[in-house]
Amino acid sequence: MNAQELIAHYDSVLAVNEWILCNHIAWTVVEPIDGLHSVQQIGDALSGVHDFHLEEVHVKEGMEDDEESPRIFLDFYEGGYFFFDTYDITGTQERLASLLGESSFIWGIRWEAGAVQHRLFYSADGQVQMSTTNVLRDPKLDETTALAENIAAVRSAWWSTPGRYQDSALLALISLTSGALLSSDWLNSTQNALVTENLRGSA
């Protein structure tokens, strides 16, 4: 999908899943530079003591059933994998980026309950290359910024046909540059959750 199609896609996703916008939720996309990682490699990197397992959980219902569970949804796409965390109040996304950032490209967006703006970041090989709360109007994002060509494509698509949610532009940028995609079907179905105590810190 191109930038305009992605904005329209995420407008439709958020229209039926507005719970994403009012909870502590994070989406983290990882593209390994050294080849695709297995579930075992990912679990070992995150658990630290080989103490993890997968369980099948309904994404939305799982959030409502047990907000404090030490689990995070994990799925794969062509080129990498992503995490979807329905209860990120303790810096879990930052921990993911720290543990998996070396030899990886990482995109992340995090929502906070009651927050007006939501932050997107992009890192390469452990170093943050770009972060913003407004990909459409942030004056710091110029032609020298990482992902500049795709940022320009998202902006051009938005000004041509504005979306309903500004967060659709942030999500479109992640999908346009990484190839990962969130869908309503995925958000409202049973997925694999990786469970390990090592990911959660103190609130």
User: Which helix (H) or strand (E) element contains residue 55?
Assistant: strand 53-58
75 Cβ contact list (under 8 Å, min separation 6): 81, 82, 84, 186, 191, 192
Looking at every residue in the chain, the average pLDDT score rounds to: 88
| 174 pLDDT tier (thresholds 50, 70, 90) | very high
Q: Please state the pTM of the whole predicted model.
A: 0.91
In sequence order, what are the beta bridge partners of 105?
31, 124
Q: Which two three-digit tokens encode residue 96?
A: 């993911």
188 or 119, greater pLDDT: 188
The domain locations on the chain are 3-197
| 67 pLDDT tier (thresholds 50, 70, 90) | low
**Mean per-residue pLDDT for 163-169?**
92
Site of tokens 């679990």: 43
**Mean per-residue pLDDT for 166-175?**
95
Its sign, for the CA torsion 47, 41, 72, 168, is positive
| Cβ contact 168:7 at 8 Å | yes
The SS3 call for residue 18 is: helix
| Cβ contact 136:158 at 8 Å | yes
- The per-residue pLDDT for 202 is 43
How far is the C-alpha of 73 from the C-alpha of 129, rounded, in Å? 25
**Mean per-residue pLDDT for 130-155?**
93
Q: Is the per-residue pLDDT at 154 higher than 60?
A: yes
Q: Is the per-residue pLDDT at 37 higher than 70?
A: yes
**Mean per-residue pLDDT for 16-34?**
92
